Every structure is written in structure tokens, then in C-alpha cells.
């Protein structure tokens, strides 16, 4: 009986989502295919037991609103460019590794040629250097290396020949996990290494200027959450460890430059 109710609700959800997309049509990216987006949204619901359960317990309004966020950015759920992750009674919209690369290539003020992230394992060779005033990295992975992960890095190659990159040690990656709402469940448990890659790419994206409209910027910035913001992590560390050990205050220091 429950399955029959769910099947009956999905056409209604399809109509409701289509109506919402029509209302915000002018805010959607150029060339956005509304019909395909709705079809993929329904396919996502059909194939995701967690979302079906969430809809049964909390209704479909949150699902609809979070799906609209993907539409504003032109991201597709069935292409794994974005995810909907239930947490308690709230549904969280998050941009995937693949989605971040897509947005960087599409909206970067400085055109992007390529973008990727890699894990560094024990036995690999990873060297950072400055060559003629420009940052440079040299990565030589050991073939078929399944050794312990010791860090990760992400690189953005620009069409003009320039590049920018970010690195994170294993300690930094683990700190990201520690401050995540889902640190001991879901993706962090099942795909830990993929989450490491997403984390370092996430941090790299903070250095890439994107030409987003106001609504897109709000959604994008919300996804750039606390988990990869070193300043916010520092704030939490201070809050958690306050008064647990002696420390010395610099008499000349008047403010901690978090911002």
C-alpha cells in the first residue's frame, strides 16, 4: 500500500516541480533543459530509498526546494553533479566533486582548461616549488600504490597557461571530517578517499573567481561550508580547546585575523 501511495505521489511531484521551474525560468542558466531536469529528478526519487523515506516522513517540499538549487546552478542529479543528503529532519543540498569542476569550467572569470584532485600516498613523490616566481608542483605517483594516504592536492589549469593549486595534509583532511555533520556515517564512511579529494578541491575553489548571479552566488557560498574553511575550523578548535591548556597572549596582538 505504501508503494502505491509513493507511486501516486510522484506524478504530483513532477507537476509541482515543473510549475516551480516555470516560475523561476528567467533565473535559470541559458540552455537549461527543464523537462530533462524533472525527468531526472523523478528518476532520482525512484532509485533512492533514503529520499523516498524522507518524503514519506517529512513531505516533498524540502526535496523540491533543494532540487531547485541544483536547477539554478545548472547541475544534474543523475549525472552525480549534486546530491541531496538527509540529516535529521533537514535535507542538505551539496555540490559534488564533478559539479564543482563543471561550475569552474563554466563560470570562471579566468577561463579554466582543466581541474583535478589527487591523493598522495606513502611512496609517492610530491614536490612543491617556486620556479621563476611562479608556483609549481611535481607529482610522481608510485605505480599501483595502495599505501597509506598522507595528503591530497588539487590543481586548476587555466587556458592562459597559468595555474593555481591547494594542498592538504592527512591531518587537515581528518580535521575536515571531524567537523562534518556526517563524519561517521554516509559518504565519509563509505567513500573516505573520495571525500578527501572533494575536500581539497573544495578548498581550491575558494581561489577561483566565478561569474555567478546573486542567487547562484548565495547557493554556491552556502555549499562552501565550514568543513573546508580553515578559519572556521580554527574558530571551532579554539571553542573546543579553550581553557584546556596554558597559553601566552602576545601583548602587541589586538585581534586574531580570521577574516
Residue 254 lies in a domain: no
250 lies in a domain? no
Say if 239 falls within a structural domain: no
115 and 208 belong to one structural domain: yes
- Quick one: 223 and 121 in the same domain? yes
Cell of 149: 594516504
Q: Structurally, how many domains does the chain consist of?
A: 2
Q: Please, what sign has the CA dihedral across residues 130, 134, 135, 140?
A: negative
Q: Does residue 184 share a domain with residue 90?
A: no
Residue 246 has pLDDT above 50, yes or no: no
Among 35, 66, 95, the domain-final residue is 95
CA 247 to chain centre: 35
pLDDT confidence of residue 46 = 86
The answer to whether residues 120 and 220 belong to one domain is yes
Summarize pLDDT for 17-35 with one digit per residue, the tens: 999 999 999 999 999 999 9
Residue recorded with cell 609517492: 124
Q: Are residues 80 and 105 in the same domain?
A: no
Of the candidates 194, 220, 225, 230, the one whose C-alpha atom is nearest the C-alpha of residue 100 is 220
- Given this model, what pLDDT does residue 245 score? 41
241 within domain boundaries: no
- The answer to whether residues 10 and 102 belong to one domain is no
Element housing 131 (H / E): strand 125-131
Q: Whole-number mean pLDDT of the chain?
A: 83
Average pLDDT over residues 102-125: 96
Q: Are residues 41 and 28 in the same domain?
A: yes
| Pair (18, 91) in one structural domain | yes
pLDDT score recorded for residue 151: 97
Q: Which domain holds residue 80?
A: 2-95
pLDDT per position as a tens digit, 128-161: 998 888 889 999 999 999 999 999 999 999 999 9
Would residue 161 count as lying in a domain? yes
Spatial CB neighbours of 90, under 8 Å, sequence gap ≥ 6: 62
With H, G, I as helix, E, B as strand and everything else as coil, classify residue 94.
strand
Residue 8 CA, chain-centre distance (Å), reads 33
> Is 106 in the same domain as 214?
yes
Could you give the residue ranges of the DSSP H alpha helices within the chain?
A: 2-23, 34-47, 49-58, 61-73, 97-107, 170-178, 187-190, 192-205, 214-223, 230-241
Q: Looking at the domain assignment, is residue 138 inside a domain?
A: yes
Q: Within a domain: residue 59?
A: yes
pLDDT at 187: 75
Is residue 74 located within the same domain as residue 144?
A: no
Say what the pLDDT of residue 165 is: 96
Amino acid at each position: 500500500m505504501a508503494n502505491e501511495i509513493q507511486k501516486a505521489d510522484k506524478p504530483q511531484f513532477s507537476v509541482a516541480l515543473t510549475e516551480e521551474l516555470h516560475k523561476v525560468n528567467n533565473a535559470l542558466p541559458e540552455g537549461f533543459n527543464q523537462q530533462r531536469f524533472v525527468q531526472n529528478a523523478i528518476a532520482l526519487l525512484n532509485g533512492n530509498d533514503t529520499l523516498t523515506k524522507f518524503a514519506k516522513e517529512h513531505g516533498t517540499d524540502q526535496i523540491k526546494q533543494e532540487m531547485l538549487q541544483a536547477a539554478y546552478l545548472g547541475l544534474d542529479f543523475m549525472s552525480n553533479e549534486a546530491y541531496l543528503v538527509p540529516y535529521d529532519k533537514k535535507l542538505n543540498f551539496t555540490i559534488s566533486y564533478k559539479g564543482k569542476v563543471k561550475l569552474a569550467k563554466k563560470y570562471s572569470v579566468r577561463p579554466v582548461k582543466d581541474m583535478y584532485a589527487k591523493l598522495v600516498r606513502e611512496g609517492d613523490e610530491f614536490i612543491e616549488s617556486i620556479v621563476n616566481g611562479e608556483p609549481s608542483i611535481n607529482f610522481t605517483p608510485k605505480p599501483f600504490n595502495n599505501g597509506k594516504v598522507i595528503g591530497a592536492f588539487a590543481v586548476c589549469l587555466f587556458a592562459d597557461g597559468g595555474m593555481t593549486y591547494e594542498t592538504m595534509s592527512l591531518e587537515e583532511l581528518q580535521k575536515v571530517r571531524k567537523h562534518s555533520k556526517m563524519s561517521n556515517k554516509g559518504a565519509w564512511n563509505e567513500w573516505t578517499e573520495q571525500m578527501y579529494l572533494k575536500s581539497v578541491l573544495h578548498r581550491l575553489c575558494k581561489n577561483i573567481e566565478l561569474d555567478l548571479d546573486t542567487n547562484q552566488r548565495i547557493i554556491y557560498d552556502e555549499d562552501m561550508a565550514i568543513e573546508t574553511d580553515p578559519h572556521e575550523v580554527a574558530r571551532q578548535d579554539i571553542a573546543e580547546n579553550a581553557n584546556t591548556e596554558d597559553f601566552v597572549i602576545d601583548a602587541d596582538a589586538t585581534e586574531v585575523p580570521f577574516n
